[in-house]
Structures are given as structure tokens and as C-alpha cells.
Amino acid sequence: MKGAFLYGPKDIRIEEVEKPSIRSGEVLVKVKAAGICGTDIHYYLEGKTAVFVPKHPFILGHEFSGVIEESNVESFMPGDRVVIEPQIPCFKCYYCRRGKYNLCTNLKFIGTAATFPHINGGFAEYCKVPAETLHRIPEGVMFEEAALAEPLSVAIHACRRVSISPGARALILGAGPIGLFTLIVSRLNGVVEPLIVDNVERRLNWAKEFGGYPINFSEQDVFREVEKATGGDGVDVVFEASGSPAAVATALKCVRKGGCIVLIGNLPNEEIPSRLLNIVIKELDVKGIMRYANTFDAALRLIYKKLFPANEIITHTFSLDEIHEAFEVAVKGLALKAIIKP
């Protein structure tokens, strides 16, 4: 089979390797669609992401779907259409026993360097996965659409972390895919015309198409725009989806008293200069999210019911042999979501 192995910054090599052999409890998936994520872009540009530095070449890709080719379990059969939830929890630790398996002490993750040895992901013709990672794709949902269940799950989890009342106002910092997905999900939860901040016009245009109120921080004063939109009160909730320390300071300034800040973006592993006193005097809730838990079924329902515009989200598709071109398009911000079809 063909697989796209990461060797270092901008060094992804298509190699011919043996198809994985499966053990008890595993299935072999013939990959049909795999999305390029912001995490994948970090690996592509820097050869690593955050604290995860690869110790050996491996196959990226954790947003993927396909057809079961071989199965060693009774619950899934060859020919079943599935999407993979790439987290592999132990189901035994304190967090797993309480349903928070995204915080699992022994968590493994497909298609990243978070686990050693690294577990190969979906930028390949085939991938073996534990059966517990599988979700059936609803009838009528395409493989490309189903692959979006993983990033959509992040937005769903973020919105579940805060109580959103109908008519609430929200500010989203960062209009990348996760920020835009959060915009869409927040509107489904009752937020009225979410304000969304970025400095890339293409992203802001997408945000407007999806029902957001775009703010270009290079040209506009974010705090004043928020004041104007909310009558000076500030927003009920801020979703920080950019991973920028400066955005945290903006969040603290723009949220109303008694409001909530949800930190989605991967912030740098360093001290963040912010007026933390605002958390006290405004009596704020500040919540982090670590990926997602118990969200895939909800994500697939939104896609199936056409409440999530998957077809509009997927702007580019590439073959596995075109993976370098795909990454360059993603790096330049030309794609909202680029999909690899091995």
C-alpha cells in the first residue's frame, strides 16, 4: 500500500509498505477521505507540534473515514462505512470511568506523535484501528463529509462547555476551520450573529457566509466593535480559537461581567501576559477544552441533517500523490478544508 510518511519539516514521502495486519479487536480500513488539520500543518512546517516531537517517521492524518476491508470483531463487518474517532482511551482510569475519556491518563492518538511508538494515521491507502474508535456513517453522508466529524466535534465540545441561552451574544477569536465550525454550532445553539475576528479577508468572507459578523483586527478596533454590537455590555461568551496569547487579553476585555471564556486554541507553552484580575472583578468562568468526548454521534447527526454545511466547508480535494500540493494550499490559507482521497 501507499502511505505518506513524515520525516521532518516539509519532508513527506510517499512510500510503498506492507498493508497493516490486524489483531484481535482491530479492523483494517480502506481510507476514502482524510482531512488536513491545523495540527497536521504544524507537523508539516515544523516537523513537530507543541511538545510532541516525532521520534520516527510516521503517517499523519486523524480526520478520516473509509470502508472496512478486514475485521476481527463481530460488531463491524467488511464493507461497513465508518469514520474514525482517533482517540484511543484505556477505559479504566479515573477520567475514563467518568466519561471524560479525552482526559485519559493513558490516552493514545492516531496520526500524531503524541504516542510512542507513533500510531499511523489516515494519509494512506489503509489504516488499522481498534474497533472502539469506529462510528457508522449514516446513509446518504459522503466519506468526505464524514471526515469532518472529527474537527466538528471540537466545536460541539466547546459549545457544550458553556451554557448558551437563546439570543446570547458570542465573540469568536480566529476564523480558521475550528473558529468557523464553532460559529456554525454556536448559532445552532441560539447565539445571534456571532462576532468573529481574524485578519484574513478570505476567512472573514467565509464567516459572513455562515452567518457571522466579521471583524478585521488589522483594520478595526475589536473592543469598540464589540461595544457597538452589544450596547456596551460585552459578549456573553468568548471562544478563543486562534491559539494567540494576545487573543486571551482581548477575550478578558470583551466578555461581559459574569460571562465565560472558552479556550480552544493550542496556546504556546509559556506564560501569557494578561490582566487576570479581570477574571475576579468580572466574576468570569474560564474553561479549557481538550479535543472532545462523546460528540461524534452529534457531529454525524448535524452532517446527516444538513445543519452543518459540509459541502461548502470542503473547498479542495487531492489524491495521496498530491499531498505536498495539498499541504501548500492549506498552509497558504487557500482552503477552508482540504481533503486527501487516497
Question: pTM value?
Answer: 0.96
The maximal CA–CA distance of the chain, rounded, in angstroms, is 62
Architecture (CATH level 2) of domain 2-152+292-341: Alpha-Beta Complex (3.90)
- Helices within 189-275 (DSSP H only): 201-209, 222-230, 245-254
Pairing relation of β-strands 213-216 and 195-198?
parallel
Amino acid at 160: R
From first to last of the 342 residues of the chain, give the pLDDT tens digit.
999 999 999 999 999 999 999 999 999 999 999 999 999 999 999 999 888 899 999 999 999 999 999 999 999 999 999 999 999 999 999 999 999 999 999 999 999 999 899 999 999 999 999 999 999 999 999 999 999 999 999 999 999 999 999 999 999 999 999 999 999 999 999 999 999 999 999 999 999 999 999 999 999 999 999 999 999 999 999 999 998 888 999 999 999 999 999 999 877 666 666 678 889 999 999 999 999 999 999 999 999 999 999 999 999 999 999 999 999 999 999 999 999 999
| CATH class, 162-288 region | alpha beta
Q: How many CA atoms lie within 13 A of 94 on its CB side?
A: 2
Question: Domain boundaries in the chain?
Answer: 2-152+292-341, 162-288
